[in-house]
Each structure stands twice: as structure tokens, then as C-alpha cells.
Amino acid sequence: MQGEQTLEKFRRIRRSSDYERIWHEGQRYHTKHFVVIVNPGRDFSRLGITVSRKVGNAVCRNRLKRWIRDLFRSSYKQFEPVADISIIAKRQAGRLSHLQVDQELLAVFARLETDDHD
């Protein structure tokens, strides 16, 4: 049951060295409220999320991270290539609704699919 509600540990980017590698080597996609950095992965896709205090209080930041993890968990199987994805929330991201977060990030995920096939 827990596996359905959480993003498994192996799908999370947890080491600062992994974040640094992604930030230096990855392809950046900018939206109005997020920076999405994508770096080709190994065997499976992983997600890292950065939400600073500038975005909002702890409740706001944790809600935003939960929504992003939920979106990634439900959509990582749909897109190729396998990649490490780091999502950085910009200052105004805390004002978005759940639907707006999903729409903005799904648009980036759709671009990943088309960029891979070009």
C-alpha cells in the first residue's frame, strides 16, 4: 500500500554530488514557475526537488513537493528517455494550485518526449 502513495527511495535524487552533476551536465527547461533540469539517467528515472524558503512557509513548500512527487510518480512511466530530473521551484510557485503545477510540469515532460525523438 505504501508503494502506491510514496515515491520509492531509489527514484529520489538524494546526494548533493548527484544534484551537482545534473546541474552542470543537464539540459535546462524554464517555465514561469519552475526550472527543470534533465540529465540522461542509467536504468530508471529519478527525481530531485528544490523548494527554497522564498517560495513560502513549510506547509506551502511541503505541499508543493508532495504535488510534484505525485505527478512524477504517476507520469515517469509514460515518457522516455530515462533521466534524472531536478525541479527547482521559483519564488511564485507557492501561489499555484495543484492543477496549475501539473499543467506546467506536464508541458515540460511533453517537451522531453519530443526533444528525444528529434
60-98 pLDDT per residue, tens: 999 999 999 999 988 877 666 788 999 999 999 999 999
- CATH for 2-117, among 3.30.230.10, 3.30.2310.20, 2.70.50.60, 3.40.605.10? 3.30.230.10
- Joined together, the cell numbers standing for residue 68 give 510534484
Q: What are phi and psi for residue 103, nearest 5 degrees?
A: -65, -45
What are the structural domain ranges in the chain? 2-117
Question: DSSP secondary structure string, 26-53?
Answer: SEEEE-SSEEEEEEE-SSS-EEEEE--G
What tens digit of pLDDT does each residue of 10-68 get? 888 989 999 999 999 999 999 999 999 999 877 888 999 999 999 999 999 999 999 99
Euclidean distance between CA atoms 1 and 6, whole angstroms: 9
pTM given for the model = 0.88
Sheet holding 83-89, edge to edge: 27-30, 34-40, 83-89, 46-50
